[in-house]
Amino acid sequence: MNNVLNISCYKFITLDDLTARQTNYLEKAKELSLKGTILLSLEGINFFLAGSAKDINSFVNYLRTDPKLSDVRPKESWSEAQPFKKMLVKIKREIIRMNHPTIKPENARAPSVSARQLQAWLQAGKDDEGREVVTLDTRNDYEVLDGRFKDAIEYNIGHFGEFPEKAKQNIASLQNKTVVSYCTGGIRCEKAAIYLRELGLEHVYQLEGGILKYFEEVGSDHYEGNCFVFDDRRAVTANLKPANN
């Protein structure tokens, strides 16, 4: 029986008092018997948590009492067992490391495309203005092995910090196309889309909510395989269930 609620969420927002937040979030999560990881930095928050639905909802409501986090909307999936071994709250330089400090999603997000809009574009092979549509996988090479959008471009990177240089080297192949960057939950493709626009690409979008949101709203249409996740489930299917079940 799948009675463990798994959530993932991020928000780019300037946060202060990181040490106090670290202490408070860890105490609250342990009080509710949650496990997972919360990453904090000056640029925002990124978290992956699992527990009972009641306790998860209590923690999310606790976060929402902070005006800066009042609009967090986690993506949800279910599992039979707790996929995390510990409860960790870490302070990082970036909540997703890109090594490119000029990219600040809080200041200006790249335009996004919904799961259903991407589905329609992939079905047609072009966007609403007739441009060829390509998907760009911003994940690490080992994640791509579990599944990807059909015919997606991927740069065979070992970590996201390699993405800027790889993108710069391959920018010519993306000219005059509509590019939709995607990742697991949206955080990497958001930074990637901003960076690609800085490189001069005009028609770049991020997939809103990443693969997980696409699975939730569309399923596996135009997607091949599963989606790698960073917990003991290792990967989830298009119906958001552990792939090893």
Catalytic residue IDs = 183
Contact 243, 235 (CB under 8 A): yes
- Phi, then psi, of 195 in degrees rounded to 5: -65, -45
- Phi, then psi, of 72 in degrees rounded to 5: -65, 135
60/6 Cα distance (integer angstroms): 12
Using alpha carbons, select from 207, 150, 152 the residue that is nearest to residue 183.
207
Contact 188, 139 (CB under 8 A): yes
- How many CB atoms are closer than 10 A to CB 35? 19
Using alpha carbons, select from 73, 77, 14 the residue that is nearest to residue 245.
77
Tokens of 42: 């000056």
Q: In terms of C-beta density within 10 A (0-12 exposed, 13-18 middle, 19 or more buried), how is residue 173 classed?
A: exposed
